[in-house]
Structure 1
Amino acid sequence: MKKILEGRVAIVTGAGRGIGRAHALELAAQGAAVVVNDFGVSLAGEGDGETPADSVVAEIEAAGGRAVANGADVADFDQAEAMVRQAIDTFGGLDVLVNNAGFVRDRMLVNTSEEEWDAVVRVHLKGHFAPLRHAGAYWRAEAKEGRQRAARVINTSSGAGLQGSIGQTTYSAAKAGIAGMTLVAAAEMSRYGVTVNAIAPVARTRMTEGAFDTSAMPDPADNSPVVAWLASEEAGDVTGRVIEIEGGKVTVENGWTHGPAEDLGRRWETAEVGTRLRALIEQAPAPEKVYGS
């Protein structure tokens, strides 16, 4: 059977454990050379002294694949640039970026500290932006030199970012931001041959075990075949999509779309807003319930 990623080079961030590890193993099994990034932190983002990326690299190499470990903090702009450069210098280029790294510090909104907000938004939102910024600059330069690559970006959003999740205001906001970033990046980068999509994975991981009953949740590896296909040259016509994956169920999310509207052709008067806006809301579908509500 042909390996759909043969000859391609990928970076997977947060690939030392859980969903990221499964992605790295699947991409390698499909023929990609993989930069396995992991900063080696606890569930809350604190340093734990472990080097799980090395173990994943060893697994890939034992199976006959090619991989190299990377310990960058993906939200550090310079370290993210060096990670992209490592892929290029080690394997001769870069074709795929899978942004997956993140951690949680769950709190109800009124109990969330400024430090917790900053840390979670930094790792998820800036941790997606920084690698994407540097990979995108490389792909733009390649395209301008007549070497356009069939480049692919797969970001990681969440149902928490799409529908919201009680006790996860910060995480939900960051994941919603990633969905928005995906849409804009897909539009901006298409001229360079780059597709940008996001997944919203459902899986039993360190991040979910403390927050939910995970006994019936799917395995992390259930998400990875979709990522591998999105990373392939075959997927060049799919971009700007957010895809939720729950075991064997795959859902293409609709996201924000324009709903019922009324144009008065003039400025609205405050006194008429209530009646008219309620009429529009009655015509619109009810929003999906926030997780945990």
Structure 2
Amino acid sequence: MGSCTSREKWGEIEDLVKNSCRAIQFNKRDSDSIVKVFHRYSPHFHLSEQQLKEALKEIELPFNNECQKIYNLFLEHPKSCKFIERQNLADEYTSNDPLYSVKKLSTFGILLGEGKVQEKFHCLFFTYDIDASNNLSRWEIGVLLADVLEIVLEIIPEIGKIIHTDRSNDIDEYKNTLAMMKKNFLEYFKFLILEDKLREITSEQFVEIMMQDDLKFMVEHSELRIFIKRNHEKCRLLSLELAKDDTAQSEMRKAKNRRSRRTLMMPLEPVKVTETPGQ
């Protein structure tokens, strides 16, 4: 890891990255309001630049050159969006020019905005409940987790590079290290939420599960990065063990082990969450 090896150096870069997010001032707005405004200006799952500007104007947030560089990290080609394919909406887009992802911007607002942790999880659930069924499928939970981890481990460090151009190399090293850890933690968090038993989950179940100590920090982006950095080697070894479980044992044996897997996860040290006004 080079220059980011020491705990002190890592902590310094983490502070730079965390504080960089204040440039767009989401921390001064209620996360629920941010999400509602973004969805109101979006016909489907994306915003044009003009729609984004109008949404930000409504909640009195800036769109200067620096902010635009940050928002551009949320551009994607609509036809590559998982939700567009899933909902058969590709024909609604006459062009495949990049647009701003409403789901990812909303998730970003949940992570950075004001609000109690429990309310943020409610908001996160309904952001990914695309058919308004009050259920998230395994697929939807997978997309939710992938988006959260992409934002926390890749996009937010890129914001740090925009704000602190003189530290780009250090932040790149930090980001690349975190990105390599993403896959194992995606599976880890998915298992904690569903425990191999549930095909879908209601909003009430989701919030109850997410408020447990081993998941509660997921809407606190800095705490989530700290958790991943602290536990990545344990998680890697645990993932290998669980994969071995799945391939080597009978279905009856696996079913028995799955009931105890949450206990196996507990050696991973959770991060304590304190209510904060905004990130």
In the superposition, the TM-score normalised over structure 1's length comes to 0.30
Tell which has more relative contact order, 1 or 2 (C-alpha 8 A, sep 6+).
Answer: 2
More strand by share: 1
Larger Rg: 1
In the superposition, the TM-score normalised over structure 2's length comes to 0.31
More helix by share: 2
